[in-house]
């Protein structure tokens, strides 16, 4: 029998309906846990659910500022953690993003120098909001580092997966993105010595998870080619990163990344979301792949870059269709 043991216990006299008392006693015997243990477990779950519901309200309180709305592309100039996107609850088919890495990168309005604990809390909040927005068979593809060595080694990938599972997402797979960029190797610990060497992998991860059902509940038109399907279902993708100078963003990902995710994990006309839209790469790829797309970006400078890219894209498309 498992008993409730804690240095901070308080005994209270409470009244229970007889049927409830008998049911808890029955559960106690089945679970092998004391009556008090079962009651505390039940109350803890109730209080946790209430806290989640209250937190959820804070995640939908900012008025949406729609700054671009053309050709199934919507871009909002808002803080994703605050903007009211409740109209899309349960409708997002695929989320693709590369959230801030917390490596001290100058993203403008976003603070990329949080403590690791604060960063994990930030991660849980945006994942919680995303979970509410996803369709039951919706998927997420999140580009994150394997780990980080700034201010101490931290297992970002492992912690992200655990937080996403805590929020409710189910794990499907991980794609290793080989950027072929070994120049990031800046520290080896003890040089040529077994004293304290560091192993640094010059790759990034694309975590693939889903809300409730991995198999899509309703099939539609796929846009992936046979050779692409064969190549991309191999869990190592090799293609170069994007130029910061060319795009005007400190940490852009190449259009190839969302393009592959969109073709492999969504149908034509699906609704795509990028909660950290940055320079608009996911929006560009989604339009090119005939998907509907929503982007949210907090920084006005990146908003301008994204809008400029999107307008040029639509102009080119009009010329081709003329």
Tell me the CATH number at 294.
Answer: 3.40.50.150
Question: Would you say residue 188 lies in a domain?
Answer: no
Angle between helices 35-58 and 18-31 (to 10 degrees): 100
How much is the pLDDT for 199?
Answer: 79
Q: What angle do CA 46, 52, 53 make, to 5 degrees?
A: 90
Beta-bridged to residue 297, according to DSSP, are: 77
Pairing of strands 134-145, 92-97: parallel
User: Does 193 map to a domain?
Assistant: no
Q: Which residue has better confidence, 148 or 65?
A: 65
Does 227 reside within a domain? yes
In a domain, 266, yes or no: yes
| In-domain check, residue 140 | yes
> Does the pLDDT at position 50 exceed 60?
no
Contacts of 104 (CB under 8 A, 6+ apart): 112, 113, 150
Whether residues 21 and 153 fall in one domain: no
Task: State yes or no: pLDDT of 104 exceeds 70.
Answer: no
Query: Is 232 part of any domain?
Result: yes
Q: Which of 101, 155, 163 is nearest to 130 (CA)?
A: 163
Average pLDDT of the chain, as a whole number: 86
Number of other CB atoms surrounding residue 187 within 10 Å? 10
249: confidence class by pLDDT, cuts 50, 70, 90: very low
What pLDDT is stored for residue 47 in this prediction? 63
Domain count, the chain: 2
Evaluate whether residue 191 is within a structural domain.
no
Q: Are residues 109 and 245 in the same domain?
A: yes
Q: For residue range 161-214, what is the model confidence (pLDDT) as tens digits? A: 999 999 999 999 999 999 876 555 555 677 888 898 877 778 899 999 999 999
pTM above 0.85, yes or no: no
Q: State the pLDDT confidence band at 231, using cuts at 50, 70 and 90.
A: very high
Distance CA 144, CA 124 (A): 14
Question: Residues 79, 3: one domain?
Answer: no
Check residue 269 and give its pLDDT: 97
- Do 165 and 243 share a domain, yes or no? yes
Whether residue 44 is found in the same domain as residue 70: no
The answer to whether the CB of 310 falls within 8 A of the CB of 75 is yes
Cα radius of gyration (the chain): 23
Contacts of 95 (CB under 8 A, 6+ apart): 130, 133, 134, 138, 139, 140, 141, 142, 272, 273, 274, 275
Let me know whether 160 and 303 are in one domain.
yes
94 — pLDDT class (breaks 50, 70, 90)? very high
- 285 with 237, same domain: the answer is yes
Give the end of a domain, one of 15, 38, 58: 58
What pLDDT sits at residue 95? 98
Q: 149 with 270, same domain? A: yes
pLDDT-derived band at 82 (thresholds 50, 70, 90) equals very high
Residue 189 lies in a domain: no
Higher pLDDT, 196 or 86: 86
> Is 160 a residue whose pLDDT tops 80?
yes
Residue 302 tokens, joined: 């990146």
In angstroms, rounded to a whole number, what is the distance separating the alpha carbons of residues 260 and 272?
Answer: 13
Quote the crossing angle between the two packed helices 300-321 and 281-288, to the nearest 10°: 20
User: Which residue range is the domain that position 275 belongs to?
Assistant: 64-183+198-321
Of 49, 105, 96, 107, nearest to 207 by C-alpha is 96
Phi, psi dihedrals of residue 58, rounded to the nearest 5°: -65, -25
Which of 39, 58, 77 is at the close of a domain?
Answer: 58
Task: State the Cα–Cα distance between residues 181 and 242, nearest whole angstrom.
Answer: 11
Query: Are residues 83 and 230 both part of a single domain?
Result: yes
Residues 269 and 141 in one domain: yes
Q: Are residues 168 and 263 in the same domain?
A: yes
Residue 116: the pLDDT is: 87
45 and 75 in a single domain? The answer is no
């Amino acid at each position: 029998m498992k008993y409730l043991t804690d240095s901070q216990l308080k005994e209270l006299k409470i009244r229970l309906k007889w049927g409830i008392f008998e049911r808890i006693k029955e559960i106690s015997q089945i679970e092998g846990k004391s009556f008090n243990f079962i009651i505390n477990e039940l109350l803890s779950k109730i209080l946790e659910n209430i806290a989640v519901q209250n937190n959820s309200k804070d995640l939908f309180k900012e008025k949406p500022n729609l700054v671009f709305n053309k050709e199934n592309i919507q871009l909002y100039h808002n803080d994703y953690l605050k903007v009211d996107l409740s109209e899309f609850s349960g409708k997002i088919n695929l989320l693709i993003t590369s959230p801030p890495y917390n490596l001290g990168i100058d993203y403008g309005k976003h603070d990329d120098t949080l403590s690791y604990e604060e960063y994990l809390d930030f991660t849980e909040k945006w994942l919680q909001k995303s979970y509410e927005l996803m369709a039951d068979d919706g998927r997420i593809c999140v580009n994150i580092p394997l780990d980080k060595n700034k201010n101490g080694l931290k297992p970002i990938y492992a912690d992200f997966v655990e937080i996403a599972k805590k929020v409710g997402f189910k794990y499907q797979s991980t794609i290793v993105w080989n950027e072929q960029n070994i120049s990031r190797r800046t520290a080896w610990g003890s040089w040529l010595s077994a004293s304290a060497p560091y192993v640094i992998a010059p790759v990034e991860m694309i975590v693939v998870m889903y809300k409730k059902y991995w198999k899509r509940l309703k099939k539609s038109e796929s846009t992936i080619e046979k050779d692409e399907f064969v190549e991309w279902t191999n869990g190592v993708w090799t293609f170069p990163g994007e130029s910061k100078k060319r795009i005007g963003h400190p940490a852009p990902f190449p259009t190839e990344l969302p393009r592959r995710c969109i073709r492999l994990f969504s149908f034509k006309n699906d609704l795509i979301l990028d909660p950290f839209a940055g320079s608009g790469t996911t929006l560009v790829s989604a339009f090119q792949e005939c998907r509907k797309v929503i982007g949210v970006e907090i920084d006005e400078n990146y908003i301008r870059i994204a809008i400029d890219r999107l307008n040029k894209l639509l102009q080119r498309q009009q010329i081709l269709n003329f």
